Chains A and B, each alone.
Chain A
Amino acid sequence: MSNETTLVKDEIIAPENLADPAWVRIRDLIYTVSGIFQTENKFYLLVGRANRRMKVVGARTPREYLDFLTARPNRDAEIRNLLNEITIGETCLFRSIPQVDALRKVVIPTIAEAKKKLSFTKIRFWSAGCSTGEESYTLAMILQEETQTSLKGWTFEIVATDLNDRSVAKAQEGVYNDYAVRNIPPEFIKKYINKSGSDYRVADSLKSHITFSRMNLLDDSKMLFMRGIDVIFCCNVLIYFDGKSKTRTVQHFYNALSPNGYFFLGQSESLYGINDKFHLVHFPGTTAYWKPADGGLKVGTP
Chain B
Amino acid sequence: MTTESLARLHNKISNLDALPTIPVILRPLLHCLDQPAEEIDIDRIVELISNDKSITAQCIRMANSALFMRNQPAETIRAAVMSLGIWRVRDLLFSNSLSKIIPAKSWVVDPEVFWRHSLGVALVCRKFAEMIDYPDPEKAYLAGLLHDMGTLVNCVVVPNEFRAAMEKATREHIPLDEAETAIMGFTHCDTGRILADAWKIPVDIADAIELHHRIGDPERGGPLVALVNLSDLLCRVCNLGYGYYEPRQVDFACEPGWLNLVMKFPSIANIDMARFTFALDEYARDVGDLVSSVFAS
Which A residues contact B (CB, under 8 angstroms)?
A: 31, 37, 39-42, 101, 105-107, 110, 268, 270-273, 279-285, 287, 290, 296-302
A279 & B253 in contact (Cβ 8 Å cutoff): yes
B237 at the interface (CB under 8 A from A): yes
At the interface, is chain B mostly helix, strand, loop or mixed? helix
Q: Which residue of B234, B258, B282 contacts A299 across the interface (Cβ within 8 Å)?
A: B258
Q: Complex: how many Å from CA A224 to CA B237?
A: 35
A105 & B247 in contact (Cβ 8 Å cutoff): yes
The distance from the CB of A263 to the nearest CB of chain B, in whole angstroms, is 13
B252 at the interface (CB under 8 A from A): yes
B272 & A284 in contact (Cβ 8 Å cutoff): no
A300 & B247 in contact (Cβ 8 Å cutoff): no
Chain A contacts for B246, CB-based, 8 A: 284
Q: Which chain B residue shows the least CB distance to A272?
A: B272
Chain B contacts for A297, CB-based, 8 A: 254
Q: Complex: how many Å from CA A285 to CA B234?
A: 10
The distance from the CB of B237 to the nearest CB of chain A, in whole angstroms, is 4
How extensive is the interface on chain B, given as a class? 20 to 34
Q: A39-B281, A302-B253 are in contact. Are A284 and B262 (CB under 8 A)?
A: no
Q: Which chain B residue shows the least CB distance to A110?
A: B249
Which B residues contact A (CB, under 8 angstroms)?
A: 234, 236-239, 241, 245-254, 258-259, 262, 268-275, 277-279, 281-282, 285
Q: Which residue of A40, A287, A300 contacts B269 across the interface (Cβ within 8 Å)?
A: A300
A300 & B252 in contact (Cβ 8 Å cutoff): yes
Q: Complex: how many Å from CA A270 to CA B241?
A: 23
B272 & A106 in contact (Cβ 8 Å cutoff): no
Chain A contacts for B241, CB-based, 8 A: 284
Q: Complex: how many Å from CA A270 to CA B282?
A: 17
The distance from the CB of A32 to the nearest CB of chain B, in whole angstroms, is 11
Chain B contacts for A284, CB-based, 8 A: 236-237, 239, 241, 245-248
Q: Which chain A residue shows the least CB distance to B277?
A: A287
Chain B contacts for A285, CB-based, 8 A: 237-239
